[in-house]
Each structure stands twice: as C-alpha cells, then as structure tokens.
Amino acid sequence: MNLTKIGWIGLGKMGVPMAQNLLNANFDLSLYNRSKKALANFEDRKVTIFDTPKALLTACEVVIVMISDDQAVNEVFCGENGLLSAEAKGKIVINMSTVSAEISRKMAALLNENGNEYIDAPVSGSLKQATEGTLVIMAGGNAEVFDQLIPIFNCLGKLALRVGEIGAGNSAKLAINALLSFHALGLAEAIKFATEKGIEPSTLLELINNSALGNPFMKIKGDAILQDNYDAVFALKHIVKDLQLAKDAGINSPLANTALQAFTNAQSELGEEDIISIYKKLSL
C-alpha cells in the first residue's frame, strides 16, 4: 500500500498544524474541510482539495479524520457523499477525533463491510504539541494495520501506542481527559482556598511548582490564572463533552461526577474559554 498519499478531514485548531507536519515530512496530502475558510492555511502549500469525503477516500490510501464529536463523525462517514459511500476498497481511515468508543466500533464495522480498515487514534496534547509534532497518540484496532501507520504517527507525535482493539484508543483518551479535568479543578480550588486564607496565588504556585506536584500542566494553567488569561487552549466546552462521553461509557466515580457537574454549570458562561477558567466560577 502506498502510505505516502494521505487525505485529511478536519482543519480546526489542532488539525491545521497536524496536517502541515505531514506536508513537512513530504507526504502527498489532500484535504477536505466543511468550511472553506480553513483551507486558506494551505494556500502556499502543494495540496489537492476535494469537495467531498467520498472523493477524498477514493483518491487516497489513508484518510485521517480530526473533527469535533460523534455527530460530526456520523456526518462525515454516513452523510451524503460521505466516506462510506465510496466504492474504494483496501483503504485505511484513522479517526484521531476525541469521540466515543461506540461510534468507532460502529464506523469500523461499516468500513470493514466495504473492504476497508479503521483505526481510532485520538491524541493527548494541545496546540503547542500539535505544532511541534510531539503529541501522544493512543490507538485501537488491528495490530498489523497499526504497524503500517507508524511512519505517519511518527510525524505527528512523540509516542504512538496501540492500546487494544477498536475503541480502546477512545477509552484511553477519555480516561486521560477525566484526569485532566481533576487536575484543573483541583488546581483552581487550591488557589482559591489559599487566596481566601491570605496567601498570594504566586506564592502557592511557587510552592506547587517546586514540590512533587509540580508539572508542566500546573505551571501553564497556574500562570494563566495569575495573568487572568483564559484564552482557550483547550476550551471548557470540550471537557464537558468528554466527561459526558466518559459518563455515558460507564464512569461513575465521585471525582468524575463532581467534575462533570462543575464544568457543566460553568459552560453557558465560560464554554469558549480555557478549561482553567473554571477558577472564576468557584466559591468555597
């Protein structure tokens, strides 16, 4: 199989730099995006633009999907001129979106019926890691298919692991994002509590960053609170979606339930801001 001819669907905040990294690695890249505005990021690059997912899959050996949610996945696969309407066989679709394991299993089964393969491979990381090609990739699906895709994954991330069968990558991503929400909420509560006890946030953060609890996430999000900068790196609305997906998949723990309630309550006001903007909604 010619794995140098790749199609890309989804040119959002993460999709653009990820696709550009494939171009930088000299892959032959073709694009489809629902909004034509995002294609402007590739005006000076050698890419082929397709008008439908169907046409993209027909022309490429591998198609990567990086879109928002289960509904968007359903539209791209099952909609008019979607991926499943292509008559091509022997193709591989990599779904790197953060979606449910259930929809991955459904789309994998439908693709398999058409003679094609599916791998779920969501990523951990944000815009900085997407730009640098240092994402962490967790994949579910056939081991032999995964092995064929390693050269592609190596252009996008610093680590790519197959964690199980179809849907396992999605489940791993939801577990990681649940932990992310706990860290964000815990940091916000700690700073809020210390502030109410007369301790400067900067002082508490210096202590945290020099303790066993210190890590890049704590520093970056702590600095965001200090600077009152809540521009979205990972929008709060997305953690609500991911926590709800985890709940639907069976997570029912005190931390997960509390985090889902806290972020859901903040979503109407802060949904477009960064996850750490939850700090503004806390009252102890």
Per-residue model confidence as pLDDT tens digits over 185-203:
999 999 999 999 999 999 9
Q: 67 and 203 share a domain? A: no
- pLDDT over 80 (residue 284): no
- pLDDT over 90 (residue 117): yes
Q: 91 and 221 share a domain? A: no
Q: 149 and 59 share a domain? A: yes
Q: 182 and 269 share a domain? A: yes
The pLDDT of residue 207: 99
The model's confidence at residue 4, banded by pLDDT at 50, 70 and 90, is confident
Last residue within a domain, chosen from 165, 190, 207: 165
Q: 235 and 157 share a domain? A: no
Last residue within a domain, chosen from 144, 165, 186: 165
- pLDDT over 90 (residue 163): yes
Q: 80 and 197 share a domain? A: no
User: Whole-number mean pLDDT of the chain?
Assistant: 97
What is the domain-level CATH number for residue 21? 3.40.50.720
Last residue within a domain, chosen from 126, 150, 165: 165
Q: 107 and 202 share a domain? A: no
173 catalytic? Reply is: yes
Q: 21 and 135 share a domain? A: yes
Q: 65 and 98 share a domain? A: yes
Q: 98 and 116 share a domain? A: yes
The model's confidence at residue 2, banded by pLDDT at 50, 70 and 90, is low
Question: Tens digits of per-residue pLDDT, 67-108?
Answer: 999 999 999 999 999 999 999 999 999 999 999 999 999 999
What is the domain-level CATH number for residue 263? 1.10.1040.10
Catalytic residue among 54, 91, 173, 241: 173
Question: Tens digits of per-residue pLDDT, 253-275?
Answer: 999 999 999 999 999 999 999 99
Q: 94 and 147 share a domain? A: yes
- pLDDT over 80 (residue 283): no
How many domains does the chain divide into? 2
- pLDDT over 80 (residue 278): yes
- pLDDT over 70 (residue 132): yes
The pLDDT of residue 1: 60
Residues of the domain holding 132: 5-165
Measured CA to CA, the distance from residue 91 to residue 103 in angstroms comes to 19
Q: 9 and 133 share a domain? A: yes
Question: Tens digits of per-residue pLDDT, 21-60?
Answer: 999 999 999 999 999 899 999 999 999 999 999 999 999 9
Q: Which two tokens stand for residue 203?
A: 């002082």
